Amino acid sequence: MLPTPYVKCDYEKVYEPAEDSFLLLDSLEKDLQFLQTRFDGNLAIVCELGPGSGIVTTFMMQNNIPSHNGALYLALDINPWALEGTLQTATLNNCIKENGHSGYLEPVQSDLTTGLRDKQVDLLVFNPPYVPAEEVPEIPDTKENIDQWLDLALLGGVDGMEITGKVLDSLETVLSPKGVAYILFCARNKPEQLVQKIMQEDPSWDIELIEHRKAGWEVLSVYRFMHK
Amino acid sequence: MKVLTTNFLKCSVKACDVSNDNFPLQYEGAKCQLVQNENIEFNPEFMLNILERVEWDAVVRVVSELGNAGLPTTKPELPADADQLSEEDIIILRDLHTLLIQTSITEGEMKCRNCGHIYFIKNSIPNLLLPPHLA
Ligand SMILES: C[S@@+](CC[C@H](N)C(=O)[O-])C[C@H]1O[C@@H](n2cnc3c(N)ncnc32)[C@H](O)[C@@H]1O
Ligand SMILES: [Zn+2]
């Protein structure tokens, strides 16, 4: 078992790590060897979408995932509190400038990957807002509208897929040629059907179920997306 | 935000994707506050990997907007493997480490050269969110 970061954030403003976060950590741990082999030390950019408290990015930095040669870890969240939380968690776990950790963290406030130069991300990780809801909440006007930021962490609109759908549509543009993405789903997102459809439309995709787990009344799963 | 990161950010406006002017963003040197953190450790393997990715012309442009005109106009040629680095190579990489990784923009502004939208950097964090009418 790899060590898990120590996390302490204000959970009124930032998503508190839960079963979904841990399933993502477990998936990355399970694929450690795979990732090391695929990149063989040659990669530059890791990007987590929606880092929230920073637990996943810090876990990757702390354990040199995917490589001991380091990377630029971009942490992109729409919630300004999450970016502060991510910095705080990384600092708390000595991932900012300490020896032994070879990565460099960069928090960026943005809406998904709209502000990233194309085809640069080698490893993309996303635990999205996946809960089905009538619609995706609007972005709050001010940083101080605290509860509204938390709604954005949970609610994914129709089928819980409005945000994840955008990310899937942009994978081709965002990932580097060898790039790999780990994305979390709940059963109500209907991930099996979706994966079938993507592979039928473009057989060059290689998509695999890495982990799945029952969490309360949800069944969560993590799929890995890459090109063959 | 590290100077390195300027090489990976473009304008968030979708319509600007078809232009060639949405990257790199334009940095207003006079309004950018730079801070150097010498504690950030040098990692030659990472420098080699990231330099392979970097668009050199954009680095030269941004760095000169920030007030440093000393970069060569072409990307330095370096071996693929850190074991084969000469002493001179190491000096080059260390200088780039100082410039790209140890130097950050703590406060500042960056503007899209296509649509003119201005993005802000506050407390070292760049904000690429668009106001609702542009998103
Ligand atoms: C379910 S939480 C996951 C938090 C953390 N990664 C974890 O696993 O504990 C989803 C995160 O996505 C962020 N988010 C929601 N919509 C976003 C968007 N359009 N762009 C960027 N981040 C977004 C939320 O602010 C929240 O931090
Ligand atoms: Zn623009």
Q: Is residue B72 part of a domain?
A: yes
Over residues A202-217, the pLDDT tens digits come to 999 999 999 999 998 8
A15 close to A82: Cβ distance less than 8 angstroms: yes
CB-CB contact of A183 with A225 (8 Å): yes
Ligand 2 centroid to Cα of residue A196, in Å, is 36
CA distance A46 to B49: 13
Question: What is the atom index within ligand 1 of the atom nearest the CA of A16?
Answer: 9
Chain B CB contacts of A106 under 8 Å are 1-2, 5
* CB-CB contact of A13 with A214 (8 Å): no
| Residues A9, A11, A15, A17, Cα dihedral to 10° | 60
* Residue B20: how many other CB atoms lie within 10 Å: 8
What is the distance in A from the centroid of ligand 2 to the CA of B115? Answer: 4
User: Which tens digits make up the pLDDT trace of A176-191?
Assistant: 999 999 999 999 999 9
- Mean residue pLDDT of chain B comes to 96
Within a domain: B135: no
State the pLDDT at residue B42: 93
pLDDT single digits (tens) B6-31? 999 999 999 999 999 999 999 999 99
Summarize the confidence of residues B101-130 as an average pLDDT. 97
* Cβ atoms of residues A129 and A20 within 8 Å: no
Using DSSP bridges, classify how beta strands A121-126 and A175-186 pair: parallel, antiparallel or unpaired: parallel
Supply the angle between the helices A80-92 and A146-154 in degrees, to the nearest 10: 80
Around A12, how many Cα atoms within 13 Å sit in the side-chain half-sphere? 4
Helix (H, G, I), strand (E, B) or coil at A73: strand
Rounded CA-CA distance B27/A181 in Å is 31
Q: Is A78 in the pocket of ligand 1 (CB under 6 A)?
A: yes
Q: What confidence score (pLDDT) does residue A210 get?
A: 98
Q: Look at chain B and report how many structural domains it folds into.
A: 1
For residue A224, pLDDT over 80 is answered with yes
DSSP labels for B32-86?
-EEEE-TTSPP-HHHHHHHHHH--HHHHHHHHHHTT---S-SSPPP--SSGGG--
The confidence score (pLDDT) of residue A4 equals 94
Extents of the domains making up chain A? 19-227
The mean per-residue pLDDT over the stretch A95-114 comes to 86
b/e burial code for range B69-95 (CB count within 10 A of at least 16 → b): eebeeeeeebeeebeebeeebeebbee
The amino acid at residue A128 is: P
Using a CB–CB cutoff of 8 Å, tell me whether A41 touches chain B: yes
> Ligand 1, closest atom to CA A136?
16
pLDDT at residue A99, as a whole number: 58
Spacing, Cα A33 to ligand 1 middle (Å):
27
Closest partner CB to A117 (pick from B23, B40, B52): B23
How many percent of chain B have pLDDT more than 70? 100
Per-residue model confidence (pLDDT) at position A100: 61
Q: Give the minimum alpha-carbon distance from B35 to chain A in angstroms, rounded to a whole number.
A: 15
Provide the 8-state DSSP code for A84. H
Q: What topology is assigned to A19-227 in CATH? A: Rossmann fold (3.40.50)
Q: What is the pTM of this model?
A: 0.97
Give the range of the structural domain holding residue B27, as residue numbers without chain letter: 3-127
Region for A2 from its dihedrals, namely left if φ exceeds 0, alpha if ψ lies in -120 to 50, beta otherwise? beta
- Residues in CB range of A165: below 8 A, 6 or more apart: none
Q: Do B8 and A120 touch (CB under 8 A)?
A: yes
Instruction: Kindly indicate the confidence band of residue A102, based on its pLDDT and cuts at 50, 70 and 90.
Output: confident
| Percentage of residues of chain A with pLDDT beyond 70 | 98
Q: What is the pLDDT of residue B21?
A: 97
- Rounded to an integer, what distance in angstroms lies between the CA atom of residue A151 and that of residue A185? 17
**Residue B19 within a domain:** yes
- Cβ of A129 less than 6 Å from ligand 1: yes
Pocket flag, ligand 1, residue A9 (CB < 6 Å): no
- Residue A121's CB is within 10 A of a number of other CB atoms, namely 26
Measured between beta carbons, which residues in chain B are less than 8 angstroms from residue A138? 132
Alpha-carbon distance of A19 to A216, in angstroms, equals 9
Distance of CA B42 to the CA centre of its chain: 17
Asked if B126's CB is within 8 angstroms of A108's CB, the reply is: yes
Q: How many CA atoms lie within 13 A of A148 on its CB side?
A: 12
Q: Which CATH number characterizes residue B78's domain?
A: 2.20.25.10
Task: Note whether A111 contacts B132, CB cutoff 8 Å.
Answer: no
Residue linked to tokens 């009538």: A134
Q: Which of A81, A86, A83 is nearest to A13 (CA)?
A: A81
**Cα dihedral: A45, A49, A50, A53 (round 10):** -30
Tell me whether residue B20 is in a domain: yes
Of B52, B55, B128, the CB nearest to A110: B128
Q: Is the omega angle on the peptide bond into residue B131 within 30 degrees of 0, that is, cis? A: no
Distance A167 CA to ligand 1 centre (A): 12
Q: Which atom in ligand 1 lies closest to the alpha carbon of residue A154?
A: 1
Task: Say what percent of chain B tops pLDDT 90.
Answer: 93
- Dump pLDDT digits (tens) for A33-91: 999 999 999 999 999 999 999 999 999 999 999 999 999 999 999 999 999 999 999 99
pLDDT tens profile B46-59: 999 999 999 999 99
Backbone angles phi, psi at A42, to 5 degrees: -105, 85
Shortest distance between the Cα of A74 and any Cα of chain B, in A, equals: 9
Whether the predicted interface score ipTM is above 0.95 = yes
pLDDT given for residue B85 in this prediction: 96
Distance from CA of B71 to the nearest CA of A (A): 22
